[in-house]
Structure 1
């Protein structure tokens, strides 16, 4: 039995609840499993390179570019969905947003949280060093003032 294009797409009006929509996705589709493995690999790379700012910046911008291009990816997927997928790919982009863009954006959020944590840590370390430097400087100036006062009394 041949399916026409109407059978491939989900109408937005048919989606009542997001969790119910997630249950309709065939998570054992081979290309979807590869995509999930890719997302897990990316999150592992993000975690392992959390102290390498330049690499993470490049990765961050690349991931945002991929999200930006997701509309074009969705257009290609809707045109060629019969070739590679058993999914009901929708033309409005809900499927691509769910399985592609959301995990990438979550990785980007993790990177931003890590950068904010690192910046806060560096700022508090610098402030502690500054306070230590100031207190050491005040101690030296007090001892120098005492030496000068003692010399005057002699």
Structure 2
């Protein structure tokens, strides 16, 4: 019995420690994360031509996703391309880490892939989310149209039966 009580006490102490750690992190707010983000933004030379080209690519891809919101097949193709880009991010990171001197002033491509995740995968995932939300909205509108047509058809059938 004492062993069970000791185990429960040890478990409660561990849970208490975790709750205190979580509480202190929540009290500190988003300050540390914001500081890390500011440091990242300051560490990158955003005026490099290849980065500006990459940002233009992502902006044009986003505008394409918004512009094609009524074309389901093209939306799914765009979604496939975006997810393929995210899937290939690790291979792209390895390649760019080996050849960074030919296009960049600094080697941004670490082994963990943080930089490529932020500037390549992050925007692609955002564009994918926009595409999926747009497709869901289109699907909901189509379901509403279909249901209205079904209700009109039922009213016509009911009217025909009465006559």
Measured against the shorter chain, the TM-score band is 0.7 to 0.9
Q: Name the counterpart of 1:118.
A: 138
Are residues 1:135 and 2:152 paired? Answer: no
Q: Which has the larger radius of gyration?
A: 1
Q: Which has the higher helix share?
A: 2
The answer to whether the 8 Å contact 2:62/2:127 transfers is: yes
Structure-2-length-normalised TM-score: 0.73
Poorly superposed stretches of 4+, deviation over 4 Å = none
Does residue 42 (structure 1) correspond to residue 61 (structure 2)? The answer is: yes
Per-residue CA deviations over 1:36-91 (Å, capped at 9, x if unaligned) read 01111111111222222222222211121111000001011111222211243322
- Identify the residue that residue 55 of structure 1 maps to in structure 2: 74
Judge conservation of contact 2:75–2:135 (CA < 8 Å) in 1: no
What is the match of residue 82 of structure 1? 101
Larger deviation, residues 80-89 vs 115-124: 80-89
Q: How many residues align?
A: 128
Give the CA RMSD over aligned residues. 1.4
Structure 1 gaps, min length 5: 1-15, 144-154
Higher relative contact order (CA 8 A, sep 6+): 1
Asked whether the 8 Å contact 2:50–2:104 carries over to 1, the reply is yes
Structure 2 alignment gaps of length 5 or more: 1-34
Which SS does the other structure have where 1:80 is aligned? helix
Equivalent residue number for residue 23 of structure 1: 42
3-state DSSP of counterpart to 2:112: coil
